[in-house]
Amino acid sequence: MARRDKYLGAELGILSVLHTWGRQLQFHPHVHCVVPAGGLRPDGLGWCPARSPTFFLPQIVLAARFRRRLQTALQAQPDSGQIAASVWRQKWVVDVPPVGSSEAALKYLSAYVYRTALSSQRIVADEDGHLTFKYKDSADQRWHTLRVLAQEFIRRFLQQVLPQGFERIRYYGWLSAATDTRWQRILALLNWTRPARPPQAPQPRPLCQHCGAHLFWVGRFIRGLP
């Protein structure tokens, strides 16, 4: 759609992050996508920015296109009959909200890349074959506890382990690794240079937790074989 002149007339770059769990560790697979509000012209000679800071692509048309593409892909699978026909008749929703500089969106997504579905700090009790953990309710934004059987907790947790060959992060368009030439062209068109890093203040030497004196680095002890 973005390649069409009536919408943008350019190729997009897309960063997608797979997120499989809900707040209570239920299986809830979905994909977050961060799309720069602009693209590279097909001839590579110009950068096409979005025509409005609040509008990028028509969400109704995008939702219908996504539904049709997904239907075509799933109907080619042997178990496609398990999907009710009403799924393909109802209107789908594709939300394309503007996120400004995207710093907040990237910070939100980074939490799902470098951590597991549930940290050990959220486990509050393990007793009588049950496990209790904390979760934040999306309705009131308050912390609650959920107590489940240990086997149920393991089942929910293992649902979030990706099968072999699956990638949690994917790049498309001119953001993919194989398009370094187009990426360099975009930087040249935008006249962008990497800002200089501000000088970092020297870190103070750590203190001993017992006597309060400064610690000195002596060496590193390499752990031996088990």
* Domain identity same for 69 and 152: no
Confidence band for 134, pLDDT divided at 50, 70 and 90: very high
The answer to the question of residue 221 being in a domain is no
pLDDT above 80: residue 224: no
Domain that holds residue 39: 1-57+96-117+165-193
Question: What sign has the CA pseudo-torsion 183, 185, 187, 193?
Answer: positive
User: Phi, psi (5° rounding) for residue 35?
Assistant: -120, 120
Q: Strand 123-127 to strand 130-136: parallel, antiparallel, or no bridges (unpaired)?
A: antiparallel
Q: What pLDDT is recorded for position 69?
A: 92
pLDDT per residue over 190-217, tens digit each?
Answer: 887 877 888 888 888 889 989 999 998 8
pLDDT per residue over 27-50, tens digit each?
Answer: 988 888 889 889 998 888 899 998
The answer to the question of residue 13 being in a domain is yes
pLDDT above 80: residue 226: no
Average pLDDT rounded to a whole number, residues 134-142 = 87
Average pLDDT rounded to a whole number, residues 77-83 = 80
Average pLDDT rounded to a whole number, residues 90-99 = 86
Confidence band for 81, pLDDT divided at 50, 70 and 90: confident
Average pLDDT rounded to a whole number, residues 162-171 = 88
What's the CA angle centered on 121, arms 157 and 111, to 5 degrees? 70
Q: What pLDDT is recorded for position 221?
A: 84
How many structural domains comprise the chain?
A: 3
* Domain identity same for 24 and 80: no
Which segments within 118-190 are labelled E, that is strand? Answer: 123-127, 130-136, 143-149, 169-173
Q: What pLDDT is recorded for position 220?
A: 87
The answer to the question of residue 207 being in a domain is no
* Domain identity same for 7 and 112: yes
